[in-house]
A and B are shown apart, each in its own frame.
Chain A
Amino acid sequence: MNTATRPIRVLVAKPGLDGHDVGAKLVCRAFMEAGMEVIYTGLRQSPEAIVRAAVQEDVDVVGLSVLSGAHLPLTRKVCSLLAQEGAADVLVLVGGIIPPQDVPALRELGAAGVFPTSTPFEQIVKFVQEKVQR
């Protein structure tokens, strides 16, 4: 599926009703500056629509940005839908306002990386570059 020449493809998504999109858009820009191909879903996406877009666009990474507190149910839904679609190999990242006590639960659900607000972009970009096998 992945060819060595293809840049890393990332879908940045805003699941649920949360309208805080500053962070998501900044992370999009950070990925773009690092040479990745970025698709941003815009606000208010259902988990179904996010997974559909991820499969159609054949992305390597899905980044979920949640600042409303609904990160656990939304991540659960996205990860299980990805598995159903046979896309469990897609790297799932979660960013936003994530209480430290929820990080283990998010990993359990299938989030490979959890990046709370104020994580330096370099750290997120490096994580993706290392984890996505070319």
Chain B
Amino acid sequence: MSENRPVIWESGLEIKPVYGPAELAASGGDAGIGRPGEFPFTRGIHPLMYRERPFTMRQYSGFGTAAETHERFLFLIKNGNTGLNVAFDLPTQCGLDSDDPMAEGEVGRVGMAVDTLADMEEAFADIPLNDITVSMTINGSAVPIMAMYFAMARKRGYDLATLRGTAQNDILKEFIGRGTWIFPVEPSIRLVGDTIEYCARHAQKYSAVSVCGHHIRESGASPAQEMAYGLAIGRAYMRHVLQRGLDADAVARTITFNFDIYGNLWEQVCKFRAGRRLWARILRDEFGAKDPRAMHMRMIAGGGGGGLTVEQPENNIVRGAYYGLASALSGAQTMALCSYDEAYTIPSEHAARLSLRTMQIMIHEIGLCDTVDPLAGSYFIESLTNEMEAKIQAIVADLDARGGIVQGVAEGRVQAEVNRHAWDRERKQQSGEVKKVGVNIYREQEEQRPVEFHPYRDEEARKQIQRLNAVRARRDAADVTRRLEAVRAAAREGRNVMPAVIDAVEAYATVGEVCRALKDVFGSYQEPVRF
């Protein structure tokens, strides 16, 4: 590689061959670094970070019926997972029951099928909910699913005030990428607000929202855009909920983050260090938060599928390890790594175990937990953290100038911007300007290897529908109808829907029924298609 060729990160920052005191001073100096655990938290949100407690390892998992998912959970816990990250199937995520015509062929395919509280009870049977923290990847239908989780926990004698866990519940990013929206933009934000408010009042240790830059990045955004959109979304939820008269400190503690890692190692590290201090400043200066803990950007930062390739899939094992390294050097609280087969299927047990072992090797063998923020003070890292901060701020300012993230998403402008970026990157990769090992360089004539795919089993889907019908037959139908009417009334009258939805799911109302009741009031989202 020629020395004269410019090195430019995906986020658009140009990298110099050498960094020293002059470069650091030119980027803004080192005044904003601070100490670990102290404002603005550039070096991490805790004073001792991994010396005190290594990152939580939380692999994404779940498929088929609740019974099968339960088995996989037990397998993961036995192998040292300290948290669970629940995948739901697409009908559940889109608010449809397993017997809905649109659910055909999708029941239990990409995650666990949940129709009623009975499924939730079976999936988590005997799992100690306060020792194993449970994170649920649920967004459009987060209201009934969170309600079911809370109802299940309460039934088992847990006090919601002590319950730990996370719901992804970031609907704004679903409109940008991932696509499990149900209701129009405004009522969707209101529902997120209802869950935040409910948690801030009744389940203070539960994280109601995990703002996902992750999927925005996976949809094509640059690392700087990922962080900027994540911050803008976090702010939008804060602004919405604070109108309800809640305390900024209480609300902020229910919001966590989920970010993506692939691509340039240093760019990721600088993205996180810059993002942490920007969030802390937003909380303190814009929202008047007083409690330093409320200013923490707590995050899961995991190796994303976007960097993995179908070609030469074993290379993904190596990529996963580097993504994990980036995550640990960035001070993530929780880590998850995409498994090497995840570019084309639901991870096999073998692949899921390898990802877990990768993280365990980082903790136990190579010294990643020896000291806090080991890259701090590097002329290069601190300079680029400053530059990344400025870049992210500029993107947020531009969004604000054009009406903010909510309007941008409703009009489809944000989606179009992310899509443009995806196009640029794809062109660069297809032309060879951006190198990808095994794809556009060091390609091999690959023999068609037998690949272990996760099979779709119709009989499991049929079983799930039978189970749903059995629950429907058992429950008090008139009571369910009454409780669903109460959900509609709460939605219509602008009251927090969570208590009514918990009531309804306790009587075994289905995910589909709750979502239909809410749709009766809110309507459905119409996707703006813009290029």
> Most B CB atoms within 10 A — which of A40, A43, A44?
A44
Contact pattern, A 1-38, Cβ under 8 Å of B = 1, otherwise 0: 00000000000000011111110011011001000000
A121→B422 contact, CB < 8 A: no
Contact B106 A68 (CB under 8 A): yes
Chain B 336-367 interface residues, beta-carbon cutoff 8 Å to A: 343-345
By the criterion CB–CB under 8 Å, are A26 and B422 in contact? yes
Chain B: CB-nearest residue to A28: B531
Q: Which of B425-464 contact A (CB under 8 A)?
A: 426, 430, 439, 448, 451, 453-454, 456
Contact of A69 with B310 at beta-carbon distance under 8 Å, contacts A17-B103, A25-B419, A32-B531 already known: no
B426 proximity list for chain A (CB < 8 A): 26, 121
Q: Quick one: which of B93, B105, B309 has the most chain A CB within 10 A?
A: B105
- Given A25-B531, A69-B109, the answer on whether A117 and B448 have CB atoms closer than 8 Å is no
B110 CB–A CB distance under 8 Å? yes
A99 at the interface (CB under 8 A from B): yes
CB distance from B464 to the nearest CB of A (A): 15
Residue B104, interface by CB 8 Å: yes
Measured in the bound complex, the distance between the Cα atoms of B354 and A134 in whole Å is: 52
| CB pair A42 B105 closer than 8 Å | no
> Which residue of the partner chain, among B93, B218, B422, B453, contacts A99 with CB atoms under 8 Å?
B453
B75 at the interface (CB under 8 A from A): no
Q: A116: CB under 8 A from chain B? A: yes
**Interface residues of A toward B: which range?**
20 to 34
B24 interface residue (CB < 8 Å to A): no
CB-defined contacts of A80 to chain B, threshold 8 Å? none
- Residue contact A19 to B531, C-beta cutoff 8 Å: no
Q: Is B318 an interface residue (CB 8 A)?
A: no
* Residue B527, interface by CB 8 Å: yes
Contact in complex: A121, B219 (CB < 8 Å)? no
9 A–B contacts, CB within 8 A, in A order: A16-B90, A17-B93, A19-B178, A19-B180, A20-B178, A21-B179, A99-B451, A120-B430, A121-B430
A sample of 6 more A-B contacts (CB under 8 A), given A32-B531, A99-B453, is: A22-B419, A29-B423, A42-B527, A43-B527, A99-B344, A118-B311
Q: Which 5 A-B pairs have the closest CB atoms?
A: A19-B179, A17-B90, A42-B527, A73-B105, A70-B105
